[in-house]
Amino acid sequence: STWGHLFYLISMLRISRSLAVMASSAVRRSIATAAPATTRIGWIGTGVMGAAMAGHCLKAGYGLNVSNRTMTKTEGLVSNGAVAIESPKDLAANSDIVMTILGYPSDVESVYLGPKGVLAGARPGTIVVDLTTSEPSLAVRIAKAAAERGVHSLDAPVSGGDVGAREARLSIMVGGDRQVFDAVRPVFQCVGKNIVHMGPPGAGQHTKMANQTLIASGMIGVVEGLLYAHKAGLDMEQVIAAVGAGAAGSWSLSNYGPRMIARNFAPGFMVEHFIKDMGIALKEAERMGLATPGLSLANQLYIALKAQGHGRRGTHALIMALEAISGMPSPSPKK
């Protein structure tokens, strides 16, 4: 009868849903915690920070596949036992966890979602982790595309610059499934000290936008304070020593202040990449109806710094832009 047929369909639908839930739970339970003896990491992006981070994983005993747009930048890791695989697709096919740290959201999209990208090669059960500072909406897209392939995804931008990468003291802000986060935690612990699960896909990137907003306005304060000290005839190193341990102290003052004084503007994090980050944060703030005048000012100052030819210097080179605004000659490095 019609009613009997309808009852049968409803029963089958309920059974299907139950099986789907059971299958999903089984998959979630099967996520293995990373361990050097059983986990092979694929690492894409061996620039200023990526090479140091991948090196820590290698030293911890993990098998390591490496790839970079310029493959010569993987040679140091290869000499220490890593295996170079040029294609992101092939690298993913031969890795249990894929870690990426790239330049721009367009790079992330291409490396993950392109026809020869990570998701095209990743096997079901693979975990992919993007450490790039990128767009929250892209992190959500990657998570959805990964889930459709049975792949787990985390967005995990980092903070701490080249110093944090070299010393394995990065802060890591993670978005995605908690169980996946727990499975990858041993790898995160190879490169970072402050590792926090922030919520669902995209939450890590949103946290990094808050981080970059704090840094942007804070860097203006560091530069203005040091320039004030210099103009007043004070020894800038003594000023840092005097105020750095008090309420005015900050990571940027302690780590970048001495570099500014030494006129060492080698990049821990490039100006042009910071401009990218601030652009993402400003876009997200506008979408949320949030006024961010401090961030907007910092963005304009950094754009001016890039226009002066310093786009590939470190973010602490901001001091040169403010020197130019005030008509100040650049101080000679202290010997």
Active site (catalytic) residues: 208
CA 110 remoteness from chain centre: 16
In which element (H, E) is residue 121 found? helix 118-121
- Whole-number Å distance between alpha carbons of 220 and 72: 36
- Taking alpha carbons only, the member of 127, 131, 257, 225 closest to residue 180 is 127
Residue 142 phi/psi, 5-degree rounding, is: -65, -40
Instruction: Write the DSSP assignment of 70-99 as a string of letters.
Output: SGGGGHHHHHTT-EE---HHHHHHT-SEEE
Query: Alpha-carbon distance 205 to 37, whole Å?
Result: 31
Around 134, how many Cα atoms within 13 Å sit in the side-chain half-sphere?
Answer: 30
- Gap between the terminal Cα atoms of the chain: 95
Residue 215 tokens read as: 């840094």
Within 10 A of 140 (CB to CB), how many other CB atoms are there? 18
CA 114 → CA 75, 118, 238, distances in Å? 25, 8, 52
- Given a contact cutoff of 8 angstroms between Cβ atoms, the answer to whether 119 and 92 are in contact is yes
- Vertex 50 angle, CA 155 and 106, to 5°: 55
Tokens of 125: 């059960």
Q: What is the DSSP string of 223-238?
A: HHHHHHHHHTT--HHH
Q: How many angstroms separate the CA atoms of 311 and 73, rounded?
A: 21
